[in-house]
Structure 1
Amino acid sequence: MTGGPGLHHVVFAVAPQRWETTARMFTELGFGFNNAELAELGVRVALDWDRGVELISPIPDSTAAVAVSVRDFLERHGDGVYTVVVRVPEAAPAEAVADRHGATIRFRQSFSGDGTYLNEVDLSVLGLPLTLLATNVP
């Protein structure tokens, strides 16, 4: 990515028992989701990057760190905004800024291959749930 940061998408945590209803409502509103079950993270996701919405739900009985984090969020807050994803040119400098403001890291992931890369840092800073995303994935 070239240029400065920008809003990429919003991630809504949804309890498994409300997953189908919530996904159907967004679909009826015109969102088109790509669905995946990410067993290594312990979550089910429905993602429409083009329209800026992601639904995330823990896979029942998963003990993966992300599943535990999402389950904890749902227990404390119910369904709602889990994180706001901000696209940044590079993850490390953006994370350094967040660190200076007292960020707590919840999750990191990185992958690259076939000419693409994605670096993601999910954190809480100044009471805000943010995810820093550096990627060349369209």
Structure 2
Amino acid sequence: MTADPDPLRLHHVVFAVAPERRAETVALFGELGFAFQEAELTELGVRVHLDWNRGIELISPLPGSTATVAAKVTEFLNRSGDGVYTVVVRVPDAAAAETVAERYGSTVRFRQGFSGEGSYLEEIDLSVRGLPLTLLATNVS
């Protein structure tokens, strides 16, 4: 993995999509030229379609899942319908960026991280001043 010369940038946008509209939404973006990698994250209770190279992710709760992330996505869908769930901003240090967001009254919705074999990822999904924002520090491309 090569180091990003400027790790501070918009990384991707996450759209929440109801499970019954997921396949059609994937087809729409596919016809527009997006190439998704699909994953079912059962521990989080969601299915994702991700095209990091083009900056888009679709996320749907797994039907019947009671996992925290699935519950938050379901709550969002019930309140707002399909739409922008969060905007992911790549930062050099997620913890330092979280400290800044805290000064502006942020509330954390979810966090995850891993490291090993030369790779790391730290992700903090939060709401700050009404904005859905995810802070991402990673060397995974």
TM-score category, normalised to shorter length: over 0.9
Consecutive aligned runs of 4 or more in structure 1 exceeding 6 Å deviation:
none
Which residue of 80, 89, 94 maps to 2:92? 89
Structure 2 letter corresponding to 1:95: E
* Counterpart contact for 1:2–1:89, Cα < 8 Å: no
Structure-1-length-normalised TM-score: 0.98
Map 1:84-123 onto structure 2 (within 5 A): 84-123=87-126
Equivalent position of 1:42 in the other structure: 45
Which residue of 58, 61, 65 maps to 2:64? 61
Q: Deviations over 1:63-117 (max 9, x none)?
A: 0000000000000000000000000001010000000000000000001111100
Number of matched pairs: 138
Whole-Å Cα distance in 2 between the matches of residues 67 and 114 of structure 1? Answer: 29
Whole-Å Cα distance in 2 between the matches of residues 11 and 25 of structure 1? Answer: 15
Structure 2 letter corresponding to 1:77: S
Whole-Å Cα distance in 2 between the matches of residues 96 and 63 of structure 1? Answer: 30
Equivalent position of 1:23 in the other structure: 26
Q: Deviations over 1:4-37 (max 9, x none)?
A: 5110000000000000000000000000000000
CA RMSD of aligned residues (A): 0.8
Which residue of 76, 79, 95 maps to 1:76? 79
Deviation at 1:3, TM superposition (A): 3.0
Q: Name the SS for the 1:19 alignment partner.
A: helix
Q: Name the SS for the 1:106 alignment partner.
A: strand
Q: Which runs of 5+ in 2 are unaligned?
A: none
Structure-2-length-normalised TM-score: 0.96
Q: Deviations over 1:41-70 (max 9, x none)?
A: 000000000000000000001000000000
